[in-house]
Structure 1
């Protein structure tokens, strides 16, 4: 018998002063049995950093043809394709050809080795941005996620601050490669 996904409901009160975007996001997140809490936390953070009414979760773990997150126009043109971890060059190339912009969020120590190996190849893709989350901050955030979680998120001057209950966290993230489109 196959294991079923665990459903998480997250309400995020977002104030993104960098993009002048303010919203209350009610997310229903299906956590695949093979997905760690840290990866799911990275999905949530990627959503917060790119929040938009058209942004949706892809099938992710269960479908290799879809990204973790994506944003499409009404004509199904892909304006944003978001990946997590260490996608291979073939997947990045496919995403780069399909979407106006691609963002890859890395979040653990093997990512640094992956980046060193891939940097020269990935700089050829003008529409690809590479960003790394601080693993320790991501791990602390992931520990605070319950099946139902309410989050206050504030983005200003590139800094992402989260408050969950009485805990506040600065989620450091570093852009290693900027999209040039």
Structure 2
């Protein structure tokens, strides 16, 4: 874990009706000084939507690194799933799409996402293994209010809606597909 990082322990109780996946995951994350609560919750939301026993976070947060922040690898080490956050540029996504069987982007920051998508949509259309989801600011602000150093979160996933609950609050998140895998 990075120096000066805050250790976050999260237990995720996941009920994904889309994939018929019902499991608990105990995670220990490094919350880097540059990471805000919204971004941390985007990472946890992406984990819940793709949860499996072999899904792992990297030790780095930078989208410009050569390794994915969240990934699933097969038994020989090939990247099956590469998950990115924010609004990465096309050159970086090209590298990810060439290295992984499937790439997912969880874009957030509604105003910046709109501008980014207008600039990137045509270029990204050619990547058949890329999907892009936009997350609503209002829901992310509410999710950020749920962050604690030790937290238990329930994720109920059905179609494009995710209900995230803690002992203090419950937040509905509607995922908007900007691009689906062809």
- TM-score under structure 1 length normalisation: 0.95
Preserved CA contact (<8 Å) 1:131 1:174 = yes
Partner of 1:56: 56
Q: Which stretches of structure 1, 4 residues or more, deviate above 6 A after TM superposition?
A: none
Q: Which residue of 2 aligns with 1:8?
A: 8
- Kindly report which structure 2 residues correspond to 1:124-139, keeping only aligned pairs within 5 A, or say none: 124-139=126-141
C-alpha separation in 2, matches of 1:34 and 1:24: 28
Q: d(CA) in 1 for partners of 2:105 and 2:160?
A: 17
The 3 A distance-change label for structure 1 pair 134 and 14 is same
Aligned residues: 179
1:1-181 alignment, distance < 5 Å:
4-61=4-61, 64-108=65-109, 109-180=111-182
Which region of structure 1 is more displaced relative to structure 2, 18-27 or 51-60?
Answer: 51-60
Q: CA deviation at 1:157?
A: 2.4
The separation in 1 between residues aligned to 2:53 and 2:3, in whole angstroms, is 31
Deviation at 1:59, TM superposition (A): 2.7
Gaps of 5+ in 2: none
In 2, Cα distance between the equivalents of 1:166 and 1:149? 10
State the distance in 2 between where 1:166 and 1:40 align. 18
- Per-residue displacement from partner, 1:42-76 (whole Å, max 9, x unpaired)? 11111111111111002332571111200001100
Report the RMSD for the aligned CA atoms in angstroms: 1.4
| Structure 1 unmatched ranges of 5 or more | none
